[in-house]
Amino acid sequence: MSDFVFFLEICLAGLGSGALLALTALAFVLIYKATRVINLAVGEILMMGGYFFFTVAAGMSLSAWIAIPVAVAGGMAIGAVVERGVIRPMLGEDPISVFMVTVGLGSVLVGIVELVWGTDPRTLPDFMGTAPVFIGEAYVSRKIAISFAIAAVVIALFLTLFRFWRGGVALRATATDQAAAYSCGINVPGVFSLAWIISCGTAAGAGVLLGSIGGISPTMGAFGLSALVVVIVGGLDSVAGALIAGLFIGLLEALTGTYLGGEYKLVFTFGLLIMMLMIRPYGLFGTKEIERL
Amino acid sequence: MRIATANETYRADEALLQTNVQWAWIGVLVVAMVAAPFMLNNYWLYLACLVAINVASATGLNILTGYTGLVSLGQGAFMAVGAYTVAWLETHIGTPFILNLVAAGGTAALVGILVGLPSLRVKGLYLAIATIGASIILQFIFLNWDGVTGGSRGMNVAPASIFGVQLTTYFQLYWVLTPIAALMVLGAANLFRTRVGRAFIAIRDRDISAEVLGIPLLRYKLLSFAISSFYAGIAGGLWAYFFRSVGPESFTIGESIFYLAAVIVGGMGSILGAIIGATFMTLVPEVLRFGVEAISPYVDNAGTLLSPVRTVVFGALIILFLVFEPQGLAEIVQRIRRFFHLWPFRN
Amino acid sequence: MTNMEKPARLDVEGLSLSFGGLKAISDVSFSVEPGSITALIGPNGAGKTSMFNCISGFYKPQQGAIRCDGKDVSRLHPPQRAKMGFARTFQNIALFRGMTVLDNIKLGRHAHMKTNLLQALTYFGPAAREEVELRAEVERDIIDFLEINHIRHMPVGALSYGLQKRVELARALAMKPRILLLDEPVAGMNREETEDMARFILDVKEEWGTTILMVEHDMGMVMDISDHVVVLNFGQVIASGLPHEVQQDPQVVAAYLGSGDPAALMKRLAGEAGMA
């Protein structure tokens, strides 16, 4: 096998995990756009999605086609409960305080997973098949290919909804100017709930895909941190930014992981984060905040 | 009922402790702390030492996060820098205890300034994320810089020795750890009586106005990072002498969350808050341990529940305090104080 | 008065500031005489606060110079200007809510204090001395002067709007001002509070001799206490001179009140001025 084909395979695998990163990044963007809050627990909600799927598909031996909707719905339920229970009462508080609340939330979710499912890593029952996919000569794992396709479809769906659906328009209006949106009759608290619910559902879905590729464990929430880098690089309020930065960082991690060693993956990702914060803190496509005296 | 303080000089009015009641409380505390090692068994002495270390570190984080308003999830990593510095100096050079501690603080302060550099461009949430990134990079260095850190094996630390006495028992360590922690708390309290501390609070409350009023923002933000990580470095150094080994698992991002939780639960921007918070958070797992021991006859493997329950409780405490009591336990203490000031009258 | 500083002369020369394509200030020049009260007036959006932000260093103008006693300061950072004696208050009160009145005032002195980190941590010798001296001076020259003794230990958040404005003035006075920039010192105040504030500003001028530049919408007060008035409109100076001269300038009247019968409007303006 030629070096080039090998390189190509690495790139394809990188794009595959990049699509998952982009999907997870979308969960950050959605909440940030609507509420100006960074939800650091996205990674842990993604993990919950993986465990919900595991419980239904492996624990109850039900079909994946039941388990997937259950996992997504579970994520949505967490989103709804968290938003109503702890985020809504903090409305109008410093976003930093809300950020720290989500740090606490992440800790709670990890603890719950360890309590209920234990600390050992687990594999999810296969539902995508294992026959490899070839693009030209290059081999791609079937799971990665399918995950890429699903992530692409979901992201496309989101972009469409943002533009044309009433709820999407309300969300964009709220993002632009909360008070103005409110006085136009948009149910702003409703939009907040909606953003949390959709975002957490998305994260949980991404968790099922991620878990079926690499298994699930109480530490898989760390994937959320890589996705956080994606949103910083792409711009916290930019869907397109999340998409492009997601693919880019997926590629970067795959290449550094292969050619330098797995331990270098995170260093490069977070080195990029610090560099980005120094050079262009609002990301490639983000909106610069204007400071007033 | 107390009406007001009647100080006759500005010096008295600027003092840390204003009333006789406050002096009396401090007296009681000092007596208790001196008597404690003779009354407590070894296990409780172990906890007392741990409280001292955590108070020192939480006080440092409070300067940065509580007073300057810069949220950091890097306190654990800064402690690790201090702990590794002590371990390396003990192993390779054998310099004296106090010098090692100062070096631990100094190294951590330098790293802290580096980590704070993004505040050149960003603040708020972005800066908090930068500290997460920095801790992950530091974690990588601890794990892979084999020659210095011992890689995944970590390092063993020789016992601290002071005036020729080796500190090996908790009883001995207590007499060194508590005074150091007390001095560090006193330093922090002093800081906020002067222009340096006022500048930090001004940056937290309104950074841009503070600049126009004469405070160089970047210099003071970096200074706050430096002091905070200096405290963390010393606490980490003490930690190394206390546990006598350091490894990459010693200080994870979970540790950083622990100290953030201590500051939030105790009360951000309150000296008393960091003390109460760190003590409370150190003792919570012990309470949980009692709980787990109580149910162990009825539940299989109850011991394995301890760690996850601890994780859940820490997270829940962060959430509950931020939502319901954002001023923390220190505010509850103040409320009780006010109640007794007005007693027997009520408003 | 021990901390009386030599009043500064301020010259703004050909200053231009734009945000993207939007010109906020274009080629503005004016001078503030040492020890005088100069009022900067003009309709909303005329560029008054932008002007203030340029002078205190928060905005970087694209062109022109700001001179303090002839020395160009337009390249200096805000803290450096503060140290030179540029002190200011803010349009929408910028007190530090986590501090008491006293600490807010003391903060104003920051740039002139010397305590370093080590002294601060130990509160030993020089640090304690500097703090106690500052306290005594603040009490004597500022707190007594502005009649805020009763609130010195209160958190600023608990104060009424008028008192908060007064504490802001106190903080600016603690900055050892050589030129005091007051951004709408009486905005939103009732008649009584306005009169108090006007009296304090006049007292500062007379007892401290400080140069004062203020932005204000209350024409009555502007006409009463200022020595010199500069009128901005759409980022340009349209008139300047003594209060009564400016008051009768038809361009000014038109800018303020739109077109209409200038004579009648001027009478109204004069009437308002007479009331105060």
Residue C2 has pLDDT above 50, yes or no: no
Q: How many CB pairs under 8 A join B and C?
A: 100
| Same domain as B214, residue B90 | yes
Residue in A closest to B205 by C-alpha: A94
Question: Which comes out higher in pLDDT, residue B232 or C274?
Answer: B232
Tell me the shortest Cα–Cα distance from C80 to chain B, in angstroms. 7
Rounded CA-CA distance B104/A33 in Å is 42
pLDDT digits (tens, 9 = 90+) for B266-319: 999 999 999 999 999 999 988 998 888 888 888 777 778 888 999 999 999 999
Share of chain C above pLDDT 70, in %: 91
Share of chain A above pLDDT 70, in %: 98
Tell me the shortest Cα–Cα distance from C149 to chain B, in angstroms. 14
| Same domain as B222, residue B124 | yes
Chains touching C, CB cut-off 8 Å, 3+ pairs: A, B
Rounded CA-CA distance A270/A244 in Å is 17
Of B218, B251, B284, the position where a domain reaches its end is B251
Average pLDDT over residues A211-230: 92
Q: What is the pLDDT of residue C276?
A: 42
Q: Which of C173, C183, C240 lies closest to C52, judged by CA? A: C183
Average pLDDT over residues B127-154: 90
The answer to whether the beta carbons of residues A243 and A155 sit under 8 Å apart is: yes
| Same domain as B69, residue B197 | yes
Residue C96 has pLDDT above 80, yes or no: yes
User: Would you say residue B25 lies in a domain?
Assistant: no
pLDDT digits (tens, 9 = 90+) for B29-40: 999 999 988 988
Instruction: Find chain C residues with C-beta within 8 A of B191's C-beta.
Output: 120-121
Q: How many CB pairs under 8 A join A and C?
A: 4
Cross-chain residue pair B213–C108, CB shorter than 8 Å: yes
User: What pLDDT band is residue C265 in, cutting at 50, 70 and 90?
Assistant: low
pLDDT digits (tens, 9 = 90+) for A66-113: 999 999 999 999 999 999 999 988 887 888 889 999 999 999 999 999
**Contacts of B173-176 spanning 24+ positions with Cβ under 8 A:** B173/B49, B173/B241, B173/B242, B174/B36, B174/B37, B174/B45, B174/B48, B174/B49, B174/B52, B175/B37
Average pLDDT over residues A260-274: 88
Residue B205 has pLDDT above 50, yes or no: yes
User: What pLDDT band is residue B5 in, cutting at 50, 70 and 90?
Assistant: low
Average pLDDT over residues A228-238: 91
Q: What is the pLDDT of residue B9?
A: 81
Rounded CA-CA distance A83/A105 in Å is 11
What CATH code is carried by the domain that includes residue A229?
1.10.3470
pLDDT digits (tens, 9 = 90+) for B34-64: 998 898 899 999 999 999 999 999 999 999 9
Does CATH place domain C1-85+176-276 in 3.40.50.300? yes
The answer to whether the beta carbons of residues C210 and C222 sit under 8 Å apart is: no
User: Would you say residue B152 lies in a domain?
Assistant: yes
In chain C, list all ranges with CATH 3.40.50.300.
Answer: 1-85+176-276
Instruction: Find chain C residues with C-beta within 8 A of B12's C-beta.
Output: none
Share of chain B above pLDDT 70, in %: 97
Name the one residue in this structure whose structure tokens are 């026959």. Answer: A131
Residue B81 has pLDDT above 90, yes or no: yes
What one-letter code names the amino acid at B194? T
Rounded CA-CA distance B7/B13 in Å is 6
Q: What is the domain count for chain A?
A: 1
Q: What rounded mean pLDDT belongs to chain A?
A: 88
Rounded CA-CA distance B262/B258 in Å is 6
b/e map B81-108, b = 16+ CB within 10 Å: bbbbbbbbbbeeeeeebeebbbbbbbbb
Cross-chain residue pair B121–A111, CB shorter than 8 Å: no
Q: Which of B71, B117, B143 sits opposite A100 (nearest CB)?
A: B71
Question: Which comes out higher in pLDDT, residue A82 or B346?
Answer: A82
Q: What is the pLDDT of residue C1?
A: 45
Residue A1 has pLDDT above 60, yes or no: no
| Same domain as B217, residue B136 | yes
Tell me the shortest Cα–Cα distance from A84 to chain C, in angstroms. 29
Residue C197 has pLDDT above 90, yes or no: yes
User: Would you say residue A255 lies in a domain?
Assistant: yes
Enumerate helices (H) and strands (E) in chain A, giving the number of each: 11, 2
User: Would you say residue A1 lies in a domain?
Assistant: no
Whether chain B has a CB inside 8 Å of the CB on C117: the answer is: yes
Residue C84 has pLDDT above 90, yes or no: yes
What one-letter code names the amino acid at A30? L
Residue A60 has pLDDT above 80, yes or no: yes
Q: What is the pLDDT of residue B66?
A: 94
Residues of C engaging A, defined by a Cβ cutoff of 8 Å: 53, 58, 90, 94
Look up the domain containing B190 and give its range.
Answer: 59-251
User: What pLDDT band is residue C267 in, cutting at 50, 70 and 90?
Assistant: low
Instruction: Find chain B residues with C-beta within 8 A of A104's C-beta.
Output: 261, 314-319, 322
Rounded CA-CA distance B136/A269 in Å is 10
What is the biggest distance separating any 2 CA atoms in chain C, rounded to whole angstroms?
Answer: 69
Q: What is the three-class DSSP state of A189?
A: helix
CB atoms within 10 A of CB A62: 14
* Phi, psi angles (nearest 5°) of residue C63: -140, 160
Q: What is the pLDDT of residue C272?
A: 58
Average pLDDT over residues A280-287: 84
SS3 content of chain A, % helix, strand, coil (to 5): 75, 5, 25
Q: What is the pLDDT of residue C206?
A: 92
Q: What is the pLDDT of residue B10?
A: 81
| Same domain as B262, residue B234 | no
| Same domain as B264, residue B345 | yes
Average pLDDT over residues A37-66: 92
Rounded CA-CA distance C43/C25 in Å is 14
Q: What is the three-class DSSP state of C15?
A: strand
pLDDT digits (tens, 9 = 90+) for A116-167: 998 899 988 887 777 777 777 778 888 888 888 988 898 888 888 878 888 7
Instruction: Find chain B residues with C-beta within 8 A of A108's C-beta.
Output: 311-312, 315-316, 319
User: Would you say residue B219 lies in a domain?
Assistant: yes
Rounded CA-CA distance B77/B213 in Å is 34
pLDDT digits (tens, 9 = 90+) for A198-212: 999 999 999 999 999
| Same domain as B271, residue B233 | no
Whether chain C has a CB inside 8 Å of the CB on A179: the answer is: no
Average pLDDT over residues C46-66: 91
Cross-chain residue pair C78–B204, CB shorter than 8 Å: no
Chain C contact probe: residue of B63, B194, B227 with most C CBs at under 10 A: B194
* Phi, psi angles (nearest 5°) of residue A234: -80, -25
User: Would you say residue B229 lies in a domain?
Assistant: yes
User: Would you say residue B20 lies in a domain?
Assistant: no
| Beta bridge mates, B311 | none
Look up the domain containing A209 and give its range.
Answer: 14-279
Of B200, B221, B251, the position where a domain reaches its end is B251
Residues in chain A: 293
| Same domain as B298, residue B206 | no
The pTM (predicted TM-score) of the whole model is 0.90
Q: What is the domain count for chain B?
A: 2
Whether chain C has a CB inside 8 Å of the CB on B19: the answer is: no
Q: What is the pLDDT of residue A167?
A: 79
